Protein backbone atom coordinates (compact mmCIF):
# COMPACT_ATOMS: atom_id res chain seq x y z
CA UNK A 1 0.00 0.00 0.00
CA UNK A 2 1.46 3.33 -1.00
CA UNK A 3 1.68 6.24 1.40
CA UNK A 4 -1.59 8.09 1.33
CA UNK A 5 -3.71 5.08 0.31
CA UNK A 6 -5.03 4.55 3.84
CA UNK A 7 -6.57 6.74 6.51
CA UNK A 8 -4.91 9.34 8.68
CA UNK A 9 -4.19 8.74 12.37
CA UNK A 10 -6.74 10.66 14.44
CA UNK A 11 -3.98 11.79 16.85
CA UNK A 12 -0.85 12.72 14.86
CA UNK A 13 -2.37 12.82 11.37
CA UNK A 14 0.16 10.40 9.85
CA UNK A 15 -1.04 7.90 7.26
CA UNK A 16 -2.05 4.44 8.46
CA UNK A 17 -2.61 1.22 6.53
CA UNK A 18 -6.25 1.15 7.59
CA UNK A 19 -8.85 2.31 5.14
CA UNK A 20 -12.04 2.40 7.14
CA UNK A 21 -13.13 4.13 10.33
CA UNK A 22 -11.07 6.17 12.75
CA UNK A 23 -7.72 4.69 13.78
CA UNK A 24 -4.70 5.50 15.89
CA UNK A 25 -1.24 4.61 14.53
CA UNK A 26 1.03 2.21 16.41
CA UNK A 27 3.29 5.06 17.58
CA UNK A 28 0.46 7.04 19.16
CA UNK A 29 -1.07 3.90 20.62
CA UNK A 30 2.27 2.99 22.23
CA UNK A 31 2.56 6.45 23.79
CA UNK A 32 -1.03 6.31 25.06
CA UNK A 33 -0.47 2.91 26.68
CA UNK A 34 2.61 4.17 28.52
CA UNK A 35 0.97 7.25 30.05
CA UNK A 36 1.04 7.19 33.81
CA UNK A 37 -2.23 5.73 35.20
CA UNK A 38 -3.02 8.94 37.11
CA UNK A 39 -3.18 10.80 33.78
CA UNK A 40 -6.13 8.60 32.75
CA UNK A 41 -8.31 9.73 35.65
CA UNK A 42 -10.06 12.74 34.09
CA UNK A 43 -13.51 13.18 35.65
CA UNK A 44 -16.37 14.89 33.84
CA UNK A 45 -18.05 17.54 36.01
CA UNK A 46 -21.44 16.13 34.96
CA UNK A 47 -20.46 12.89 36.73
CA UNK A 48 -18.51 14.08 39.79
CA UNK A 49 -17.07 17.21 41.36
CA UNK A 50 -13.97 17.52 43.52
CA UNK A 51 -14.25 18.49 47.18
CA UNK A 52 -14.77 22.23 47.48
CA UNK A 53 -11.59 24.33 47.81
CA UNK A 54 -9.28 21.35 47.16
CA UNK A 55 -6.63 21.95 44.50
CA UNK A 56 -7.08 19.66 41.50
CA UNK A 57 -5.86 19.52 37.92
CA UNK A 58 -8.47 21.07 35.59
CA UNK A 59 -8.49 20.99 31.79
CA UNK A 60 -8.97 24.63 30.78
CA UNK A 61 -11.31 24.52 27.77
CA UNK A 62 -10.59 28.14 26.81
CA UNK A 63 -6.80 27.74 26.54
CA UNK A 64 -6.79 23.98 25.85
CA UNK A 65 -4.29 23.23 28.63
CA UNK A 66 -4.24 21.86 32.18
CA UNK A 67 -4.06 24.14 35.22
CA UNK A 68 -4.27 23.78 38.98
CA UNK A 69 -7.49 25.18 40.38
CA UNK A 70 -10.15 24.57 43.04
CA UNK A 71 -13.93 24.41 42.84
CA UNK A 72 -15.94 27.19 44.50
CA UNK A 73 -19.67 26.71 45.04
CA UNK A 74 -19.96 30.47 45.57
CA UNK A 75 -18.70 31.15 42.03
CA UNK A 76 -20.03 27.83 40.67
CA UNK A 77 -16.75 27.48 38.81
CA UNK A 78 -13.16 26.36 39.08
CA UNK A 79 -10.98 29.19 40.37
CA UNK A 80 -7.26 29.86 40.55
CA UNK A 81 -4.97 32.50 41.98
CA UNK A 82 -1.86 33.51 40.02
CA UNK A 83 0.44 36.31 41.12
CA UNK A 84 -2.16 37.33 43.68
CA UNK A 85 -4.89 37.72 41.06
CA UNK A 86 -7.98 35.46 41.08
CA UNK A 87 -9.43 33.99 37.91
CA UNK A 88 -12.01 31.52 36.66
CA UNK A 89 -11.23 28.37 34.68
CA UNK A 90 -13.64 27.18 31.99
CA UNK A 91 -13.20 23.48 32.58
CA UNK A 92 -15.43 20.45 32.18
CA UNK A 93 -12.89 17.83 33.30
CA UNK A 94 -10.74 17.51 36.42
CA UNK A 95 -8.55 14.98 38.21
CA UNK A 96 -6.82 14.75 41.58
CA UNK A 97 -3.27 16.05 41.72
CA UNK A 98 -0.56 13.34 41.72
CA UNK A 99 1.39 12.60 44.86
CA UNK A 100 4.48 14.74 45.41
CA UNK A 101 7.98 13.28 45.07
CA UNK A 102 9.25 10.96 47.74
CA UNK A 103 12.23 12.23 49.71
* pLDDT, mean of residues 82-94: 84
Yes or no: say if 9 and 69 are a contact pair by the CB < 8 Å rule: no
Sequence ranges of the domains in the chain: 1-34, 40-96
Percent of the chain residues topping a pLDDT of 90: 19
Q: Is the pLDDT of residue 30 over 70?
A: no
15 to each of 7, 22, 93, how far by Cα in Å? 6, 12, 30
pLDDT for the residue numbered 63: 81
Supply the pLDDT for residue 49: 93
User: Across residues 17-43, what is the average pLDDT?
Assistant: 60
Strand order in the sheet with 77-82: 43-44, 91-96, 56-60, 65-72, 77-82, 85-89
| pTM metric for this prediction | 0.59
pLDDT surpassing 60 at residue 56: yes
Amino acid sequence: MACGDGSRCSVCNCYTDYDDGEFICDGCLSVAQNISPWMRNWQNIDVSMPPEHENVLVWDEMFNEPCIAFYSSFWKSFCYIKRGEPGLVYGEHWMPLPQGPEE
